[in-house]
Chain A
């Protein structure tokens, strides 16, 4: 590499890093304007510099993102939680509350039970009185709000609403 190219490289590097003096910046502009080879060298250097810089940021982003960005992310997270909490509150307020210990079961309500957190202990299932045609099972000692028991036929389920101490079969749903 000849001395002139070396000088131009150094000038480009100083210019990229914001370390060039006013005189160097003037000389740099002139060289880039007059010399196509210097212009090409600058174009390549800038392209590589930016690409590598972006790649490093992408690789280390969670570790090196500025504090302001972290703060923004945290605020966005808090905002998200706030919106979610608001929606849940609104749902709870408009939802029909149980009055006599039994909710009116329906597909929309049934879907709640699908996503309810499972309890640590398994539900106890006991046989019922022979006189009852349905339900075929009883569930005791559970903390769940809703329990789904497979029915006699495929796609048939027994949906049970649990209200503290009382257990009652509400409705049989098919393929929900």
Chain B
């Protein structure tokens, strides 16, 4: 399918969803739900928030679908809704439980000898928690492309398009995300 034909099909799908066509709306959700969840995780760094925020995002999408001017910009539009909702939820949760993870705190715990060494195939619960904590401790700026790259297997160009930044910026952010993660975790992951 050519680019023009794809754009036309997408415009038709969005228009149908706007008219309340249930199959069209279902298809939109099917095609975009997964990566939006990855965006939410990338923005919050907290897996437990993903379900709730995703529901909120889709409620927003249906409410504001009429404001989407150009259907070709659907992806960026969805991204901005998901990211804003994720940030709001993250702030609300942090205020609620007063718990924030800092890079320094994680790095300080690096020498903890009680942490078990993970087997190659099986990551222990403690290590799992530590790894997710490290991802959560990354600045959102670096975490977002990292999550999209790993969970969605997106190319630099795809990530750049959604984030609205040059490809080189995506590359730099991924390098920095990996560097920070390596510094935090190299003693714990063999």
Contact = CB atoms under 8 A, between A and B. Distances in A.
Given A13-B178, A56-B135, A19 B185 contact: no
B47 A51 contact: no
A9 B155 CA distance: 18
Interface size class of chain B, counting residues whose CB lies under 8 Å from the partner chain: 20 to 34
B68 interface: no
Interface residues of A, number: 27
A53 interface: yes
A9 B175 contact: yes
Contacts, number: 86
Interface stretch (A58-66, A107-115, A155-163): A58-66
B147 A17 contact: no
Interface of A, helix, strand, loop or mixed by DSSP: helix
A57 interface: yes
Contacts of A47: 186, 189-190
A12 B132 CA distance: 22
Given A13-B175, A14-B171, A45 B182 contact: yes
A174 interface: no
A89 B91 CA distance: 55
Nearest to B187: A44
A59 B175 contact: no
A104 interface: no
Interface in B58-99: none
Interface of A: 1, 9-10, 12-14, 16-19, 44-45, 47-49, 51-60, 63-64
Across the A-B interface, give the 5 residue pairs with the lowest CB-CB distance, nearest first: A55-B131, A59-B47, A51-B189, A53-B150, A13-B175
